[in-house]
A and B are shown apart, each in its own frame.
Chain A
């Protein structure tokens, strides 16, 4: 998708996440080249999911940063305290000007006008802060205020994900689940919907067609109107993938996508990953603790243990790394 195919989609620099005294992820450097399938493995409790959640914008890292598609997205906030000042500053300025003018002219009308404008500005700034249009974010950036991206910002930037334990919207239909995935790519405002403008109708129709396409892609054709919780386990996993794909990501994060699946389902899932890469040209980050799945599909593997990166390389290199063997099988096994 980008001009430079070799440029990494995601670069993590020294990402550290502490929970109280526990260092869940310790200074992990990590990057994902465009178009590759990269895996993150490690024994249970190695910090894989924590790292994943930092990248997804769910946790703010204690230290380090994550660049996504060439932009710094995740790091500790800088000057976050200044944001409320931005909200009230225009109001304060207008009020000061009003008071000043009133002092000069002694008519009193200026103050009333200033009051109205100031109130309007205050409400406008509040609404801006709530709706957060790109202009507002750019304004904050100009002022040197950096806020770590929230998960939805990451999705807008092009990150899709699935969950280790399935988290579908259980009472919604399969196609509605996929359409929620499309949320950030649709644009109808409440006003469009309220007035039932053609734009809204066209978009909904288009979304419905797209949802069918994604469901067919993952092999759920004909199950569009099935309520998510009524789907079979394997189908629910597929639906999660479809939902993630619907957000048109550049990078797909899959958190233990084959957990709880039997060997034939696992094989089908692995085929699906291959198709996602070849047919859709997506980059995939896979998290697994099952070595077998990972070895077959990955271009590169990174191994975490107790929050530290202990090994990195091709599947073959990682398989031979004594530290990896030790982490998985215990001391002495490598000898």
Chain B
């Protein structure tokens, strides 16, 4: 950000440029998807492929939102202590199990039709999962990472992988060793606005994810603790010498990141209806890719990366090459890193906002 633009819009969060970028990307994706759909099924012309393309578009945004929520945790933690927290995917997995446990304990198994009850249960599920996973994240940081903060970088990295296995095995042994069906409490209603139709669950997931990301952005750019996080990310010692308690700040970063992963876990259960003890590995790896793709340490980049990966995955499956989706995703990562080693938006939590 140059001095001039900073001066002009001093306290406002810049929104026009990102919005324009999002609209442009969405249109581009839509056209690509419609093209691919009409191409892959011979009966469809480009125009008649639009409804199907639209459904896939929404699917892609939804999946992207889940990746983006997880990726934010990776990127925040990396931004502040330069640790790739491989246990983060497992936090997401645990979050999905927490919501599964909560919903089945409360006795829900299918859609809830009473809107008031539905809202209440959703609020409860998200609140519980986010708080529990936030605390788990903080405790992991305290027990496993803090002592290694000044150790060579490989030590905490290996520890993170260890923590990831520990969490996975705890769930494997204590909870379930096979796929678990989670209650999909949001009814399968389709809302139609003129040409555009979207099912309730997709709408909910997208609004939730965008809302959480916007809140996070505001939190980082406009609050005392957000400033503390940014200053710690830029220069830990200087921040500490200016009165920022870096231990608390780092713990808070873990809390927020893990809470977002917890939210993503609830969404996983609601959207896909299943969860399993090793789901965190795949999802974590892809979310990590999203974070790197967008520019690790950069929260906006992580969100963007999440959506890009969601689209790549859906595009490759629409093309009839679903089994290649991982190859496509990681191929894209390689390509981006070759030409822009710092990711699409560049590095640093600090540079943003």
Q: How far is the CA of A141 from the CA of B350 in the complex (A)?
A: 37
Within 8 A of A (CB), among B235-265: 235, 237-248, 251-252
**A291: Cβ under 8 A from any B Cβ:** no
Q: How far is the CA of A208 from the CA of B222 in the complex (A)?
A: 11
Nearest CB in chain A: distance from B247 CB, A = 7
Q: How far is the CA of A152 from the CA of B247 in the complex (A)?
A: 10
Q: How far is the CA of A6 from the CA of B106 in the complex (A)?
A: 67
**A194: Cβ under 8 A from any B Cβ:** yes
A171 & B234 in contact (Cβ 8 Å cutoff): yes
B-side contacts of A181, CB under 8 Å = 242-243
**B48: Cβ under 8 A from any A Cβ:** no
**A126: Cβ under 8 A from any B Cβ:** yes
Residue on B nearest A173 in the bound complex, by CB: B6
**A46: Cβ under 8 A from any B Cβ:** no
Residue on A nearest B222 in the bound complex, by CB: A204
B224 & A171 in contact (Cβ 8 Å cutoff): no
**B142: Cβ under 8 A from any A Cβ:** yes
**A127: Cβ under 8 A from any B Cβ:** yes
Could you mark each residue 98-138 of chain B with 1 if its beta carbon is under 8 Å from any beta carbon of chain A, else 0?
Answer: 00000000000000000000000000000000000001001
Q: How far is the CA of A167 from the CA of B248 in the complex (A)?
A: 21
Q: How far is the CA of A223 from the CA of B109 in the complex (A)?
A: 59
Q: How far is the CA of A181 from the CA of B224 in the complex (A)?
A: 10
Binds A, one of B80-88, B153-161, B191-199, B225-233: B225-233
Nearest CB in chain A: distance from B149 CB, A = 13
B-side contacts of A150, CB under 8 Å = 240, 245
A-side contacts of B228, CB under 8 Å = 180, 183
Q: How far is the CA of A11 from the CA of B27 in the complex (A)?
A: 67
B-side contacts of A200, CB under 8 Å = 223
Residue on A nearest B239 in the bound complex, by CB: A180
A172 & B240 in contact (Cβ 8 Å cutoff): no
A193 & B223 in contact (Cβ 8 Å cutoff): yes
Nearest CB in chain B: distance from A123 CB, A = 6
Residue on B nearest A155 in the bound complex, by CB: B243
Number of interface residues of A (CB under 8 A): 48
A58 & B242 in contact (Cβ 8 Å cutoff): no
B-side contacts of A176, CB under 8 Å = 227, 230
Cross-chain contact of B241 among A155, A186, A190, A230 (Cβ < 8 A)? A155
B251 & A130 in contact (Cβ 8 Å cutoff): yes
**A265: Cβ under 8 A from any B Cβ:** no
A-side contacts of B230, CB under 8 Å = 169, 172, 176
A-B contact count (CB 8 A): 124
A152 & B219 in contact (Cβ 8 Å cutoff): no
Q: How large is the interface on B (under 10, 10 to 19, 20 to 34, 35 or more residues)?
A: 35 or more
B3 & A226 in contact (Cβ 8 Å cutoff): yes
A169 & B235 in contact (Cβ 8 Å cutoff): yes
B243 & A184 in contact (Cβ 8 Å cutoff): yes
Nearest CB in chain A: distance from B269 CB, A = 24
B-side contacts of A244, CB under 8 Å = 242
A-side contacts of B139, CB under 8 Å = 123, 126
Summarize B's interface: helix, strand, loop or mixed: helix
Cross-chain contact of A152 among B135, B215, B240, B252 (Cβ < 8 A)? B240
Cross-chain contact of A226 among B7, B241, B242 (Cβ < 8 A)? B7
Residue on B nearest A180 in the bound complex, by CB: B231
**A247: Cβ under 8 A from any B Cβ:** yes
Summarize A's interface: helix, strand, loop or mixed: helix
A-side contacts of B348, CB under 8 Å = 171
Within 8 A of B (CB), among A124-151: 126-127, 129-132, 150-151
B-side contacts of A194, CB under 8 Å = 215, 219
Q: How far is the CA of A179 from the CA of B229 in the complex (A)?
A: 13
Cross-chain contact of B247 among A56, A130, A193 (Cβ < 8 A)? A130
**A317: Cβ under 8 A from any B Cβ:** no
Cross-chain contact of A183 among B215, B219, B244, B251 (Cβ < 8 A)? B244
Nearest CB in chain B: distance from A180 CB, A = 5
**A203: Cβ under 8 A from any B Cβ:** yes
Cross-chain contact of A132 among B7, B237, B248 (Cβ < 8 A)? B248
**A161: Cβ under 8 A from any B Cβ:** yes
**B10: Cβ under 8 A from any A Cβ:** yes
B-side contacts of A58, CB under 8 Å = 237, 240-241
A190 & B222 in contact (Cβ 8 Å cutoff): no
Q: How far is the CA of A132 from the CA of B108 in the complex (A)?
A: 40
Cross-chain contact of B243 among A152, A163, A203, A204 (Cβ < 8 A)? A152
Could you mark each residue 98-110 of chain A with 1 if its beta carbon is under 8 Å from any beta carbon of chain B, else 0?
Answer: 0000000000000
Residue on B nearest A190 in the bound complex, by CB: B225
Nearest CB in chain B: distance from A134 CB, A = 13
Q: How far is the CA of A194 from the CA of B127 in the complex (A)?
A: 13
Could you mark each residue 1-28 of chain B with 1 if its beta carbon is under 8 Å from any beta carbon of chain A, else 0?
Answer: 1110011001100000000000000000
Could you mark each residue 200-244 of chain A with 1 if its beta carbon is under 8 Å from any beta carbon of chain B, else 0?
Answer: 100110011000000000000000111100100000000000011
B-side contacts of A93, CB under 8 Å = none
A131 & B241 in contact (Cβ 8 Å cutoff): no
A-side contacts of B222, CB under 8 Å = 204
Q: How far is the CA of A115 from the CA of B222 in the complex (A)?
A: 41
A-side contacts of B6, CB under 8 Å = 173, 225-227
Nearest CB in chain B: distance from A111 CB, A = 18
Q: How far is the CA of A227 from the CA of B135 in the complex (A)?
A: 35
A207 & B224 in contact (Cβ 8 Å cutoff): yes
Q: How far is the CA of A272 from the CA of B134 in the complex (A)?
A: 46
Among B2, B237, B246, B351, residue most surrounded by chain A Cβ atoms (within 10 Å): B237
B-side contacts of A208, CB under 8 Å = 11
B247 & A170 in contact (Cβ 8 Å cutoff): no
Residue on B nearest A231 in the bound complex, by CB: B3
Residue on A nearest B241 in the bound complex, by CB: A151
A180 & B244 in contact (Cβ 8 Å cutoff): yes
B3 & A156 in contact (Cβ 8 Å cutoff): no
Could you show 11 A-B contacts with beta carbons less than 8 Å apart? Answer: A58-B241, A126-B138, A127-B138, A132-B248, A152-B241, A163-B238, A181-B243, A183-B227, A183-B231, A194-B219, A225-B10
> Beyond the given A130-B248, A193-B223, could you list 10 further A-B residue pairs with CB under 8 A, ordered by the A residue number?
A150-B245, A163-B238, A167-B238, A169-B230, A169-B235, A183-B242, A200-B223, A203-B224, A227-B3, A247-B243
> Which residues from chain A sit less than 8 Å from chain B, CB to CB?
56, 58, 123, 126-127, 129-132, 150-152, 155-156, 161, 163, 167-173, 176, 179-181, 183-186, 188, 190, 193-194, 200, 203-204, 207-208, 224-227, 230, 243-244, 247
